[in-house]
Chain A
Amino acid sequence: MGDSHLERLLLRPVAEPEPDAAAAVAAGPIDPAQALGRDELDRLCDPAPLAAETGWCTLPDGIGYVAARTTMPGVTGEMVDWWFDWHPREPIRYRVWHPLAHVSNSLEPPAAPGAKAHWGATHHPVEDVGVGIAHARISFLRPTEIGFSTDGLDDPRIATIVGGHVGDDRRRSRHSLMVHVFLAERDGVVLRSRFWFGALMRPYLPAPLASAVEPLLNTGFARRRLLPADLPRAVAGHCIEEYANLAELLPDLYRRYG
């Protein structure tokens, strides 16, 4: 067997999400008018409160929207950057993050080194957030590659930004945009997560073919056919759980392994 400390963490109960966040997820879909636009990512870097910090809905164009806010006391941007490079290297590290939902992960390192180790990396997580097992592919990118006007490296308000494109290894297709903005607080960070499911549909095919098919997939009809209807609610619930749990684990894991 491997690392006995990690093995013990697998048996530990998953942390409860913050009650306000759990209540917001349970309250049903938010008004789509409260959803942040994909062209408004920079607003996530401003600590001023946003409408619906936690919530989910399906937008009129069929895109599944998720917002989730998690306070992570004791966590720093440095820890988060380390985590996104460290955890995909062994399945057990990914399982420890959320033992009931996370199954496995593997890492394709970036083709060229960037300012942060996760920029350009691809993860292949296998997880079940409540809508069945998914063999996901997440391509982590620099913030300015996904729509931010800044990479957040020199902004004292921003602890770090982690984001990228989400796809499905089994269905051989990219589908979504995911961003996590970690805002610095006096005693930790506050995480703002946003997902737009189905916003970036594109098959994993050679570029000419993928480009030809892309417009056909980015329609409300295709999104409703290809993404589980319950996905936004399930991901919102999972997101507040996994980051509440990570908040409990990360400072100690960083001390031990960082």
Chain B
Amino acid sequence: MATMGFEFDGATFARGGDGYEPARSAAVWNARTPERFPELIVQAASERDVVAAVRLAKAEGMTIGVRAGGHSWAGNHVRDGGMLLDVSRLREATIDAAGMTATAQPGCPGNEMLAALLAHGRFFPAGHCPGVCLGGYLLQGGFGWNGRIHGPACMSVEAIDAVTADGELVRASATENEDLFWAARGSGPGFFAAVIRFHLRIYEAPKVIANGVFTYPLQELETVFRWAAEVGPEVPRDMELMVFIHRDESGEAEVAVTGPVLSASESDATTALALLETCPSRPRAKLAVPRVDVGLADLYAGVHSSYPDDHRYCVDNIWTHAPVDELLPGIERIAETLPTAPSHMLWMNWGESPDRPDMAYSVEDETYIACYGVWADPADDQRFGGWATDSMRAMEGAASGIQLADENLINRPARFVTDANITRLDEVRAKWDPGGRFHPWLGRP
């Protein structure tokens, strides 16, 4: 495809040309690369490349899908026709430790950003999963470390620099282009501009990082979930109480409880971790590690083992505040149908949310449940491909919505912002991207 004289610092690949397929499949972390084929892939190597790419797309009448980290398992950014604008090479970050601010380009991995901040005694609620880059993460909300304290990470975005559908580089914040800024905080893969830099508020680093881990045989499932639901409201905000259903080394399904704490003091950490010992199933634990002091890298390594690279994924999720009695049948079904490791279910205690600023992000609830179907062999696509969707569909009646973080809108459209906010998002999009230059979500309620 002709690039109309637009020049790029980075590489471009036309469909059917050399290097196209590697560039396309590398743009999606999920090894199941979607069967969707953009006409042109632009691997932006500079901010001006992003500007040139959007202007080229405008000139050629191309739609645009933007890839930062590519961790969207659904590959929302890989669409048929148009341009795949890959900004993963824009990974620069700056830190002003004294001023408590930072900036980051969209391809900056959250874990690398956080490691750099910790070296300065600073912190940002970066995503739990290593390799998740800030672009997609911050646009969709951003559920990360100490998110229960700092809120979804998009709350810490103070401004964005973005290229609009018209090809214009603009700043959007609470005081300029407010509607674009409003949309940038929560519209996720449906955002209608290409962000080239986020301006972030950062925080004091926690003093103590520790974790507790308990695993239980599947027979304890009901007891553990009843306990988790009961203690959930009392869990200090600096602990993330999570219950997993996964398979142990021998392939047996089990229940695992973890409670990473990122605390301001030793006593806070001790108090929080003590809570894990109160589970009535505690005497029957297969493994009990009441406390292990860890570094950030250890936390990331632990998470990474559940979300390996080069694997095939299908993921779905719900927010809920339904009583545990209502949730247990669905959770039991998930345990019964759980695919092979490292597939798993996550139950997370998000808790009651304080008042949030006005932003597109607007759906959250006390409990988050997500199913992650993970396998390596393409021959298992049929067997495992529908598990997460089916499991979450079976629990839809208890759901109040979904997170865009693990969205499965292509298979199961569901509410991800309030009805009022999706109406407003449509209005703001109509203003900034009247021609539909940027792809919307793969599905919507």
Contact = CB atoms under 8 A, between A and B. Distances in A.
B59 A92 contact: no
B321 interface: no
B5 interface: yes
Interface stretch (A98-106, A153-161, A171-179, A232-240): A98-106
Contacts of B7: 1-2, 92
Interface stretch (B24-32, B164-172, B204-212, B417-425): B164-172
A104 B168 contact: no
B59 A128 contact: yes
A10 B48 contact: yes
B5 A128 contact: no
B55 interface: yes
Interface in A1-19: 1-2, 7, 10-11, 13
Contacts of A2: 7
A154 B403 CA distance: 72
B58 interface: yes
Nearest to A90: B5
Interface string B33-55: 00000000000000110011001
A91 interface: yes
A126 interface: yes
A128 B58 contact: yes
Interface string A63-96: 0000000000000000000000000001110010
B4 interface: yes
B436 interface: no
Given A126-B59, A133-B59, A133-B61, A7 B5 contact: no
Given A1-B9, A2-B7, A103 B59 contact: yes
Interface string B156-174: 0000000000111100000
A90 B4 CA distance: 11
Given A10-B48, A10-B51, A100 B9 contact: no
Given A128-B58, A133-B61, A7 B48 contact: yes
Nearest to B58: A128
A10 to B, nearest CB: 7
A133 to B, nearest CB: 6
Contacts of B59: 103-104, 126, 128, 133
B64 to A, nearest CB: 16
Contacts of B60: 133
B5 A100 contact: no
Contacts of A126: 4, 59
A87 B5 CA distance: 14
A242 to B, nearest CB: 15
A10 B52 contact: yes
Contact of A11 (B8, B9, B51, B61): B51
A100 B54 CA distance: 10
B48 A92 contact: no
B9 A99 contact: no
Contacts of A100: 55, 166-168
A128 B54 CA distance: 14
A7 B48 CA distance: 8
A11 B54 CA distance: 12
Nearest to B47: A11
Contacts of A92: 5, 7
A136 to B, nearest CB: 13
Interface string A106-134: 00000000000000000000101000010
A142 B248 CA distance: 85
A10 B59 CA distance: 15
Contacts of B51: 10-11, 99
A90 B47 CA distance: 21
Contacts of B6: 91
Contacts of B52: 10
A7 B8 CA distance: 11
A13 B176 CA distance: 15
Contacts of A1: 7-9
Nearest to B170: A13
Contacts of A10: 48, 51-52
Max chain A Cβ within 10 angstroms of own Cβ: one of B8, B58, B59, B168:
B59
A41 to B, nearest CB: 33
Interface string A168-195: 0000000000000000000000000000
A92 B4 CA distance: 10
A91 B5 contact: yes
Interface in B47-78: 47-48, 51-52, 55, 58-61
Contacts of B47: 11
A124 to B, nearest CB: 11
A13 B51 CA distance: 12
Contact of A103 (B4, B48, B166): B4
A7 B9 CA distance: 11
Contacts of B58: 128
Nearest to A133: B59
Contact of A104 (B4, B9, B167): B4
A104 B61 contact: no
Given A95-B55, A100-B167, A104-B5, 14 more contacts: A2-B7, A10-B51, A10-B52, A11-B48, A11-B51, A13-B169, A100-B166, A100-B168, A103-B55, A126-B4, A126-B59, A128-B58, A128-B59, A133-B59
The 10 A-B residue pairs with the shortest CB-CB distance in the complex, in nearest-first order: A91-B5, A103-B59, A104-B5, A104-B4, A100-B167, A1-B9, A1-B7, A100-B168, A11-B169, A100-B166
28 contacts: A1-B7, A1-B8, A1-B9, A2-B7, A10-B48, A10-B51, A10-B52, A11-B47, A11-B48, A11-B51, A11-B169, A13-B168, A13-B169, A91-B4, A91-B5, A92-B5, A92-B7, A99-B51, A99-B55, A100-B55, A100-B166, A100-B167, A103-B4, A103-B59, A104-B59, A126-B4, A133-B60, A133-B61
